[in-house]
Chain A
Amino acid sequence: MSAADPLPTTRRFRVYRYKRGDPGWRFDPFEVPVGPRTTVLDALRWIQLHRDRTLALRHSCFHASCGTCGMQVNGREALACVTLADPLGSTITVEPLANIPVLTDLVVDMGQVFARFPDEIGTVRMSEKPSRASPPDGIDTYERFEDCIECGLCLSACPVSATSDAYVGPAALAAAQRLLEEPRGVDPERILDWAGDPAGAWRCHVAFECTEACPSNVRPAERIMALRGALAAGRRTVATVTPG
């Protein structure tokens, strides 16, 4: 904090708490000093350091790349590392993601999210950015990582996932659509069969909350619609969805 920054004000954080073996969950209140650039993750780490070392949360990269600090802040899905606390009001409620079993405090069982993805999911894609650039010797083409950071925010925001645990959810279906955009040897029929399951693309109720929640502009809902278009028309290819 520089000398020009205003002094921090105190905000009340209501933090969801649950440990295995507890009879139920509860909210614990914490008064936390918050400056104009304090993120929710900064505040939670302050609580860990100064008030309660048993508060469990998951984080890694601090810049919205890893997707590990996904949680609900004032009822909306957010990555805590890039969510400023200052504009969130005098009382800030922090909860784990919805629709995913809680392991402890703000940590959910992401294994249950990853298990929903198609087995063939890719992690890299052809890069569309440096189309005019020449790759260095020994490299055929540029590749880059997929946009989806597998944070689980879309699954938490989805109202259909809230009523059906069988629904595979937006992230897995968006990954399936990406596989069909760029199959890299994957059998499109198998992916379309998987997506056409009653618990797959047709289970979506077009609320588009996944697209609103996605911090990587993957546009999962539009990808689900592209899958449906292919399924309805009996095509083996999908319409391309450009990241927002």
Chain B
Amino acid sequence: MSGQELPGTERRDDQGPVLRKGVGIPTSGWFDPRGRALGGFAFAVNRVTGLGLVAYLYLHLAVLSMLLRGGSAWSGFLRLATSWLFLSLDVLLIFGILYHGLNGIRVALVGSGIVADRQKALWWALGVIGTLALAFSAIHIYGSR
């Protein structure tokens, strides 16, 4: 074999593909609902609500900019803002805030080692608090029509 290389030697250092789990184009890697456990689900929803809240911030600024276009533009928006669809988006917003905030408390408590082995119980406990707060908010939001 002196002086001869084995077949394929020149490709030995080639980097192969790296599989990423999840859905999306390109594959997101972090968002994969298939067979996730509670912690993975909590993480994915936390990211989705985080992205939603960032998007809402820009939407909020865009809505406020209507004030620059005068009172009639703002009055038109207020009619839209009291529709069932828009109020439902408000409830969705409250869900995002509650989930992201309460899960943030859970992550802080678990992630700092204070209750490292109670992450599931903490999720359920904060989930009950969040559900009650969401129900209270929804009643008030829909009742404001």
Contact = CB atoms under 8 A, between A and B. Distances in A.
Are A and B physically bound partners? yes
B16 A160 contact: no
Interface string B73-102: 000000000000000000000000000000
A232 B112 contact: yes
Interface residues of A, number: 47
B111 to A, nearest CB: 5
Contacts of B30: 159-160, 162-163
A75 B34 contact: yes
B16 A225 contact: no
A70 interface: no
A100 B112 CA distance: 28
Given A204-B111, A239-B113, A101 B16 contact: yes
A7 interface: no
Interface in B31-45: 31-32, 34-40, 42-44
A162 B28 CA distance: 8
A114 interface: no
Contacts of B20: 98-99, 162
Interface residues of B, number: 36
Nearest to B29: A162
Nearest to B38: A208
Contacts of A74: 34-35
Interface in B10-68: 11, 14-22, 28-32, 34-40, 42-44
A7 to B, nearest CB: 29
B32 to A, nearest CB: 7
Contact of B39 (A100, A101, A221): A221
Interface in A75-122: 75-76, 95-104, 109
B16 A103 contact: yes
B8 interface: yes
A241 B113 CA distance: 11
Contacts of A100: 18
Contact of B21 (A25, A75, A102, A206): A75
A41 B34 CA distance: 22
Contacts of A165: 18
A225 B106 CA distance: 13
Contact of A205 (B11, B15, B43): B43
Contacts of A227: 113
Contacts of A72: 19, 21
Contact of B43 (A25, A97, A159): A159
17 contacts: A18-B16, A20-B11, A21-B8, A98-B18, A159-B30, A159-B32, A163-B30, A204-B111, A207-B43, A209-B43, A221-B116, A222-B116, A226-B116, A227-B113, A229-B114, A229-B116, A232-B113
Q: Which 4 A-B pairs have the closest CB atoms?
A: A229-B113, A162-B29, A208-B39, A225-B116
Interface of A: 16, 18, 20-21, 24-25, 72, 74-76, 95-104, 109, 156-157, 159-160, 162-163, 165, 204-209, 211-212, 221-222, 225-230, 232, 239, 241
Given A207-B43, A225-B110, 15 more contacts: A72-B21, A74-B34, A75-B34, A96-B19, A99-B19, A102-B17, A159-B21, A162-B29, A163-B29, A207-B40, A208-B40, A209-B37, A229-B114, A229-B116, A241-B116
